[in-house]
Amino acid sequence: MTVVNEGVELTVTGNPPTATPDVPRALATRSFDDRASWMSAMAGALGIVWIAYQITGWSGRLGFTLLWFVVYLALYAAISRAGNPRPVVFDRLAAATVAGGAVVVGLALLSTVSYTVQKGWPAFSQWGNFYTETAAGVRPTAPLDQGGILHAIAGTAIMVGIALLISLPLGLGTAVYMTEVGGRAARVVRTVVEAMTALPDVLAGLFVYATLILVFHLDRTGFVAAVALAVTMTPIVARSAEVALRVVPGGLREASLALGASQGSTVWRVVLPTARAGLATSLILGIARISGETAPLLIVSGASTYQNLNPFAEPMNSLPLYIFSAVRSGQPNFIARGFGAATVLLALVTVLFALARYLARPKRGSR
């Protein structure tokens, strides 16, 4: 290569240096180095902690697991630092910490569900009577092939249905007001909703007891219990629905208004259908919150052993109240029935969640 410098030609031999192209690091996949690092770190941490427990005489599964995880993070960082820059080490540590938290939550959920099913399986497996009979005339010490929880299932369905009819329009209307109308009053409403979200459930029961039972002299019925559940459910639906409505792009609202649609028509025909999946999720959160509520029911709902389908007369039992009464009874058969009812409650919530997600799925090929 010939270079001209101030009229003098200089001849340079050799090829010019070429810059090494930057290759982006793959974030979605694990490399062989990463897999080898965390596997060796886990094995090494397990060996170190086991030897430490043998030498010191320590005991306890929880302490062993926590110490193993801490030593694993330290070894993982040291091994990764040997052949990777500092950002990669921090990224791996963050990923390992988040994965560890997810494993802990998953194991806690799995252990809770498995323990409930195991304790309740003797009653849960009584297909002939557990789901088709009530507890009327059945003693707590009676065998598991006598009596059932039909009255509690019916009571829970009726209470949750009434609470849903009350909370859905109130919560959805509040969310629409906060997102679509706005103003100073909307900020006040949002503050109240956020405060009610953290409201203890027992206070909702005390509020309904002080107003409907003491002031208006209503009896302890399923309707009163449903109102207490609605007080708990409404702020949950309103807060989560507001988040779902805020995700809707503002361009859709502007396009609808530009075509001559009113604000009400825009909300009803554009905003709400677009946020359907998020609104269904908010509804699921509200139902999941009240399905297992026990504190309000202890105050405003009277327990019963017979089936009552009229929410405006006589006490009405529910699955949470039945579970609470059974587990604290001290009778082994009654405790087994309580865990069986808890298993049924878990199954009902799971089925409801799956159904709501199925109905809220986006339709393929729709425009």
Total Cβ atoms within 10 A of residue 230:
26
Highest mean pLDDT, choosing among 19-28, 67-76, 300-309: 67-76
Q: How large is the average pLDDT for residues 185-205? A: 88
Q: What is the pLDDT of residue 177?
A: 93
Percent of the chain with pLDDT over 70: 89
Mean pLDDT of all residues belonging to the chain: 85
In order, the DSSP letters of 181-234 are: I-SHHHHHHHHHHHHHHT--HHHHHHHHIIIIIIIS---S-HHHHHHHHHHHHH
Q: The tokens of 44 are what?
A: 């090494």
The answer to which of 129-133, 179-183, 265-269 has the lowest mean pLDDT is: 179-183
Listing DSSP states for 265-334 in one string gives: HHIIIIIHHHTHHHHHHHHHHHHHHHHT--HHHHHH----SS----TTSS----HHHHHHHHHTT--HHH
In DSSP terms, which residues pair with 11 in a beta bridge? Answer: 2
Contact 226, 143 (CB under 8 A): no
pTM, rounded to two decimals: 0.76
pLDDT band of residue 355 (cuts 50, 70, 90) is confident
Residue 139 has pLDDT above 70, yes or no: yes
Ordered structural domains, the chain, with CATH: 32-123 (no CATH), 150-359 (1.10.3720.10)
Predicted pLDDT at 20: 58
pLDDT band at 18 (very low <50, low <70, confident <90, very high): low
With 70 as the cut, is the pLDDT of residue 3 above it?
no
346, 354 Cβ separation under 8 angstroms: no
| pLDDT > 90? residue 366 | no
pLDDT tens-digit series, residues 224-280: 999 999 999 999 999 999 989 998 998 999 999 898 999 899 999 999 998 888 888
